[in-house]
Amino acid sequence: MDYNKTYNKILTDEEFMEIKQHGSSAYPFQYYYDNLELFDFHCIEWHWHREFEFLYVESGQVTCGIGEKKIILSEGEAIFINSKILHQFYASSDGVIPNFVCMPEFIAPENSLIYKKYILPIISSNISFQCFRINESWQVKIIQIMIKIMEIQENEKIRELATLALLQNLWLIFYENVKLSGKEEVQTVDEAAQKRVQLMMQYIHENYNHGLSLDEIASHIGVSKSTALNLFRRFLHTTPVDYLIGYRLQAASWLLKNTNKKVKTIAYESGFRNVDYFCRLFKRRYHLTPSEYRCICLK
């Protein structure tokens, strides 16, 4: 199977949900076969969506940033990320991570007893993620089902029905074993603080090509500059301004790979008003000039 090479710019609505549709309204399930080596800096940047996400580490070692937490997954391990949770994936070298996302109502209709009794409690819980390790028998069962779901994507004859049947079986095992109450082993996230970070990220995503200051980013959600700094450092381990610059450079790298626009035009469209400054920052981050980067990407 070919690796996913789609560039996903994160855009969200007023409730901080990712706009990009995974799958379709008729079949809200999507499988991705990702290799972190193909992403800039071996990283899938911070994003969030309403869908559940299940990720398996086929090879390599992957660091998952989820809210304020960092989780290391080794080959053969997997993870579930709950709806609306901010997350990022990174590998120091290669990291093959087949994964799938699905709307909660793919498992059962939203107005059904199944949804209200077995799905909504997970969405509404304080569980932000659940790791699946190979030293727990029920978690091994889930990993095995995840692998079957990924393999069945090649079978066009029964793919959709088999995917649903397997996913419902997976969810049954998950629901039977996950702890919905009690503090032990519960993976939580500060939802109010996360939403503030997401709102500032959203503001940057929508306005990165304009002149933005820390004051503007912070005042957009009515917090002080120090609060904005603390929130970004707490969740994203960077500052709002550094995040803005990184996002601009990411946008520029995509334009360099996918358009024939001049470097000066790309600098301006990415939010840089001085092309020399843009080139210095780009080389510092990518260790290549914009022109060298474009040549390598086009080979």
pLDDT in tens, 64-120: 998 778 899 999 999 999 998 889 899 988 899 999 999 999 999 999 999 999 999
Q: Which domains does the chain have, with CATH numbers?
A: 29-177 (2.60.120.280), 191-298 (1.10.10.60)
Position 123, amino acid: I
pLDDT at 2: 55
pLDDT at 183: 43
Q: What is the pTM of this model?
A: 0.76
Rounded Cα distance, 258 and 284, in Å: 21
Residues 163 and 29: beta-carbon distance below 8 Å: yes
pLDDT at 43: 85
pLDDT at 9: 46
Position 222, amino acid: G
Position 25, amino acid: S
Structure tokens at 80: 């579930």
Indicate the DSSP class of residue 84: T
pLDDT at 35: 92
**Burial (Cβ within 10 Å: 0-12, 13-18, ≥19) of residue 273:** exposed
Structure tokens at 54: 């299940």
Rounded Cα distance, 133 and 101, in Å: 20
Which residue ranges in the chain fall short of pLDDT 70? Answer: 1-21, 23, 181-189, 299
Rounded Cα distance, 71 and 81, in Å: 12
**Burial (Cβ within 10 Å: 0-12, 13-18, ≥19) of residue 146:** buried
pLDDT at 11: 52
